[in-house]
Amino acid sequence: MHIHTISNQNSILNRFISEIRDVSIQKDRMRFRRNIERIGEILGYEMSKVFNHKPHAIQTPLGLCNIELMENDLVLCSILRAGIPLHNGLLNYFDTAENAFISAYRHHGNDPENFEIVVEYLACPNLTNKTLILADPMLATGRSMLATYEALKPYGTPKEVHLVSVIGTKEGVAFVEKHVADTVHLWIAAIDDELDEKSYIVPGLGDAGDLAYGSKLQH
């Protein structure tokens, strides 16, 4: 797997990452969602550099302008509900993409220390020969990303697969890398060192879905 950690090079991205982590700022849900969206835009921009481009002649009022334009046929898939702001950021730049949505959540049952990933809702176009972008803001254990990756397989074989996350862990990245093809790309803003006993990212930022949309009842 090709791993692209964008914060390894200092840029304005660092400001947006700092704000989604900062407990005094992340309480503003609108700003939290917008910062995730902006991070999605930056990750999309960086990703676009490796896409296929072909020359096109554009007619201006005064003549022809030759320019290289992206040729990839994109399908953008996000994991509900935390993935919606990240999806919107990517879609701001890849506005002609087809879209897919999938639900995946941790089901603890009677054991709060262990969980399984449950995939329920899935709406997806044909992926055959498409460029699949699979977005999940938090890559903690990597199990949610892998579960959704596997759930999409009946919808066709993409030409390319790009995974997108905001914050992950070394353990989660290594888990995904072990189970996907070498040709898959991971675009991630930052990678943290560890998980806590509940498999949350440390230092991380907390629950991205709750910070974006409010807390939920557990069942």
pLDDT of residue 51 exceeding 70, the answer is yes
Q: How far apart are CA 134 and CA 176, in angstroms?
A: 13
The reply to whether 104 falls in a domain is yes
- As beta bridge partners, residue 123 has 101
pTM (predicted TM-score) = 0.92
The reply to whether 58 falls in a domain is no
- Per-residue model confidence as pLDDT tens digits over 132-173: 999 999 999 998 899 899 999 999 999 999 999 999 999 999
Q: Are 162 and 47 in contact (CB under 8 A)?
A: yes
Q: Are 35 and 20 in contact (CB under 8 A)?
A: yes
Q: How far apart are CA 171 and CA 12, in angstroms?
A: 26
pLDDT of residue 108 exceeding 60, the answer is no
pLDDT of residue 22: 98
pLDDT of residue 103: 84
The reply to whether 57 falls in a domain is no
pLDDT of residue 109 exceeding 70, the answer is no
DSSP 156-180: ---SEEEEEEEEEEHHHHHHHHHHS
pLDDT of residue 23: 97
The reply to whether 162 falls in a domain is yes
The reply to whether 34 falls in a domain is yes
- CA 193 vs. chain centroid, Å, equals 19
The reply to whether 83 falls in a domain is yes
Residue type, 106: R
- Per-residue model confidence as pLDDT tens digits over 172-211: 999 999 999 999 999 999 999 999 988 889 999 999 999 9
- Per-residue model confidence as pLDDT tens digits over 62-96: 999 999 999 999 999 998 888 999 999 999 999 99
* CATH number of the domain within which 137 lies: 3.40.50.2020
The alpha-carbon radius of gyration of the chain (Å, integer) is 18
Two tokens, residue 90: 């990517």
- Per-residue model confidence as pLDDT tens digits over 18-45: 999 999 999 999 999 999 999 999 999 9
pLDDT of residue 120: 81
Q: Are 20 and 26 in contact (CB under 8 A)?
A: yes
The reply to whether 129 falls in a domain is yes
Number of domains in the chain: 1
**Domain extent at residue 147:** 2-50+73-213
The reply to whether 60 falls in a domain is no
